[in-house]
Structure 1
Amino acid sequence: MTETAVNPTVRQRLRASRWVLMVLVVVIAVATLTAVFTAPRPGGRMDPEATSSEGAHALVALLRDHGVDVVVADDIAAVERAATPDSLVMTVQTIHLVSEDVLRRLAAVPGDRLIVEPVSRTREILAPEIRRDDGGSVGGSPDCDLREATRAGDVQFGGSDTYVASGDVPVTRCYEGALVRYTDAGRTVTVVGSSDFMTNSGLLKEGNAALAMNLAGAKPRLIWYAPQQREGETTGGASIFDLIPDQVVWIVIQLGLVVLLVALAKGRRIGPLVAERLPVVVRASETVEGRGRLYRSRRASDRAADALRTATLQRTVPRLGLGADASPAAVVQTVVERTGRDPRAVWHVLYGPPPSTDTDLVNLAHALDDIERQVAQS
C-alpha cells in the first residue's frame, strides 16, 4: 500500500520537473539566438566592420552591392599595396591617426583623395590648399555645381567644420564649405568636415546616403583607411572576460527572471505566517529611565526639556479645546484662563529657554506636571 500511495506523487513531481527543464531550455535557446542575430558588432567610429550607430558597415555593403571594389586597409602598408593611380583613397580621421610619418606616406600614394573630418595636421599634409573657415556655417542645400552634391540634394551633416581656399588654387565649396574639392597635379582632393552622414545611423537622413555613395563610389576601387589602432601597436592577450560576449549578460538576466518566477510560484505553497511571542517584555518605565540616563550622560538638558514640554503639550492642548496647530500665544492664554497663573510664568514653563543645570531641569518637570494637573482638574 505504501508503494501504490507514493508512486503517483513521484510521477507528478517528475512531470513537473520536466516541464520546468523544458521551459528553461527554450528560454536559453531563444535568448542565445536573439543575442547572436540581433546584437550589433562593436567597433570604432567609421569602422567598416562595425554595425553600431557610429560604424560604417552599411555604407561598405552598399558600395560593394553597386560594384565598387572596397579594400579595407588596416595599416599604411596595406594602403600602399592597394593604391593605384585610378583608385580613390579615403582617409578617415580617428584618434589613432596621429603619426606624421604615416601622413607623409599617405600623401605619397597615388590616386585621388577623400579626406573625412581631418584635424589640422592631417589637412596641412593631405590637403594643403585649403584652410579651416572659423566663421562658416553648414547649410542643408549644396549651392554648388559639384555633380556628386547636386545629385544628392539636401544633406544633414550634424556638427561639421567648414573650409575655404588657402591659396590661388580654385576650390569648389558645397554646403557652405562643409564639402570642398580642388584639383592639384592631376589629383582630385575632396575634403568633408563631418562623417556623421556616412555612419550607419546617418545614412537614412535626407540625401546622406546618396552623397556618401557619390563621394566614396566615384572610382571603381576604394581604399578605405580608418585606423582603429596606432601604427605598430598590437593588441594584448585577451583575458577570460574579454572572451565572453556581451550578450551573455542578457542571457543571465533572463535566466534570473525565470528562476525568480519559479521561486515565486513555489513560494505560494508556503503556509501562513506563524505568530511568535516576544521572549522579552520591556516595561515603559525602564525605557523612560534609559532615555533619561542617556540624556544625562550626554548633558543634553535642552533635548530632555524639549521632550518634556512636547509631551505635556500633546496631553494638555486637547483638554484646552485647541487644535494641534494652535499658536503658543493661544495656548498660554487658555492655560492662564483655566488655571489663573501668571502669563509670564506659564510662557516661561511651556516655551522658555532650556534649563542649564539638572536642578533647573527637575524644577521644570515639576512645573509642567503642576500645569497639566491644574488643567485636568479645571
Structure 2
Amino acid sequence: MTAVSPDAGRIWTAARGPVLIGVIILFAAVVITLLRGGGEGGSLDPRSYRPEGSHAVAALLEQNGVRVELTDNVSSVEGATLFVTHPDLIDPERLSELSRRAAATVLLAPATEVGKVEVETRQPGCPLASKAGPATTGGFVYEGEQRCYDSTLVRTGTVTTIGFGAIFTNRDLDEEGNAALALALLGQHDRLVWYLPSAADRSQQKSFTDLIPDGWKFAAWQLGIAAVVIALWRARRLGRVVPERLPVVVRAAETVEGRARLYRRSHASAHAAAVLRQAARDRLTPLLGLPHGEDPSEEIARRTSRSAGSVRTLLYDEVPVDDRGLVALADELDALENEVRKG
C-alpha cells in the first residue's frame, strides 16, 4: 500500500518558505521598533528638530540660563531638576531614590493614573500654574496635593506629574501657554537632567513580545491558527487500513523458477549451492532433534551408512561448482535427507 498522508519532512519542505519569510518580516519589525526607540530624532529628545522632538524647549531653557544635560543613565541629580520622559521603564524603587536626591522631579505620564481625559486646551485652575495660563493638557489624570488643569498636572512635594507631553514638543510649544508652562516645570533650577531611559537602564525589562506592535501580534495569532488548521486538514486520518487483493497470484513454483533463472543469468552457482546446503541443514536439524545451527554430521553418520567426513563435506563444502555440479549436489542432498528420514 502507498501512504498518501504527508509526513513531517514533506510538511516542513512545503512550509519552510512561508515560515522563513515570516521570521524575516518579524525580525525586521523588531529591529525597526528598537531603532525608533532611541537616538537623535526620537520623541521628546532635546536634540531632535522633528515635530515630536524637544529641541525648541531645550534651547529656550538654555537661553534662560538653565544647563540641559541629556542622559540615558542618571548618575548625579543633586541640586537639579530631573525630567523623566518614560518613567514606566525605570524600576519604581530606583525612580523614588532619584526623586529624593533631585531638587525637583517632573514625571511624564507614569502609569499611576486614576483616569483619562481628552487632550485639549485647559485653564490652570491652581496657583501653581496661574502664570502660565491655558495650556494643551490631558491624557492621564492623577491624584496629588496640588491639582492643575483638571488634575492632568499635579504636584506632591517636589514631584510634579503631567499626563501628556504636548507642551514639551516642537510642534505644540508655541500654542497657548505651553512654552511658559514647560519653562516653569523644567526651569525650576539652574541645572536640568533630561533623562531618556535606555535599554541598559531598564530594570523593568520589556519582554520580546512587548516590543512587537499589537497588529503584528494579531497577525501572528492568525497565521498560527491557520497553520494549525492546515496541519489538521492535511494530517487527517483516512480510515482503517484496507488490504488490497493482488491483481495476479504467483505460484510458488514460478517464484522458484524465476529465482533460479536469476542465479543462472548472474552465474551465481556457488551462491545457489550454499543456499541448497543451508536449506538441507535447516530441514535435517529438527529431524535429528538438534538445536538450530549445530553441525548434524555426527548424528547423520550414526543413523546412516555414511561417514561423518563425507556428510560434513556434502553439507559444508565451499568448493565452487558449475551448473552440472549444482544439479548433482541437489540430488545428493535429497538422497541424504531421504536416508535420514528412513533411518
TM bucket by the smaller chain?
Answer: 0.3 to 0.5
| Greater C-alpha Rg | 2
Q: When the two structures are superposed, what TM-score results if normalisation uses the length of structure 1?
A: 0.40
